Structure 1
Amino acid sequence: MYAQQQLAYAPTPYSYTPSSNLTATINLDEEVKLADTAAERDIYESLAEIYSIVITLDALEKAYLRDSIKESEYTETCDRLLRQYKSNLADESVLAAFGDLERFKAEWDLEVPKATERLKIGLPATVETVPTRTASQHRTSNSHTPSNAPSAANATAIVSASENFITLFDAVRMNILSKDTLHPILVDTIQAVNKVTDRDFENKGKIVHWLITLNQMRAAEELSPEQARELQFDLNAAYEGFKATLE
């Protein structure tokens, strides 16, 4: 009988016996650099920042829907995240590496439907729609002002909303069609409208549609003549719907 060599471990059908002839080709103590230049490093840092913004925004939207956060806190935080998102993408090199939101989500396997919708609109939900009013606010309002007689504050809000609509009409008629001009006016318009009425009047959704369209354009991009005509038509319809709520 001959002595059988003792194995250092129990063999398995798929066991692997290390070989002393193999040596590591990677120094595990050496830092792995993702970028070779400062410019590349800045791009990666910006993309990482965008990733965290998208994840945070999705969680914020879910918290708002669950009523786990105050409207004021939600509005402030959401507005800040949206501004940070736009600020990062204002850099042309970062935008080129980012591509668009759908490509970015696919590349990093992101499932963030709530954040996606909010980024498309570009406004907090409390600005896009009328903020919730408490029962006490309704009782206070009704106890001092008849339902058919607008208060001085409401009259001011009506004038402001009408002025914003008129400013939009004038901009389109004068062919001032760039995003960086129309988008802020459109935001001001929907905010002013929401201060006047909590009714979802006819064609109000068209304003939100154009907010999404403009929000996905670059600042210097302009609407085409066909889009300008559609915008003017939709604004007229929305303005008529708004006026109908005042009657």
Structure 2
Amino acid sequence: MTSRWPTALDQSLSTIDLYESHTERKHYDNRANLYAIIMATEHLERAYAQDCVTNAEYTTECNKLISQFKIAESALGKNESTESFMKNYQMDCPRAVNRLLIMGVPESLRSSDDGDRALTVATTVANFITAMDVLKLEQLDVDVLLPHLIDLRNSLVQISGTPKDWGPMQKVENWLVKLNFMRAHDRIDENDSRQLYLDLDSAYSEFNQYLKTKR
């Protein structure tokens, strides 16, 4: 094989970047993350259908992917949906669509003996994890935080037998009141972010303790 000097085209190609700023890089990273989550869900669903993973392994991983999907989807922006994203990148993932966009909970819980209660508990757990992960990723805009806290409140409401002044519900309601008084483009500061995370973590612990008393 003969060697040759690099041409001007070679040199220009070697310096081409997909992004020119931190914002553009974050944009591409978010899309790559969403793509990976959808593909991972599709493969997990296939593995579960073929009995290649246990119920426990499947449930753990599926809950994690559902939680990650909610965060990644919110990063798409208001002008693009998951469906259009998948169409644009020619993603043929019907199992992932069913799990992430339609069902929203692992199949193993849908078919469990606990029925509706298992679904409600699984949804609430996923909503807790999602809300806390959003804070870890420093997505502190009100219009990002508020929908996740509303989802969490709505799933907590469905937990039967809770007292009227139940701690987890009160903590979430207090933050909903505060955020509702802010504008959509406002951001909570670092102190509020840390306090909200602490309150959610405490509420999650109380929620788990309550479930243990009902077994």
Give the alignment's TM-score, normalised by structure 1. 0.43
Which is higher, the Rg of structure 1 or of structure 2? Answer: 1
Give the helix-richer structure, 1 or 2: 2
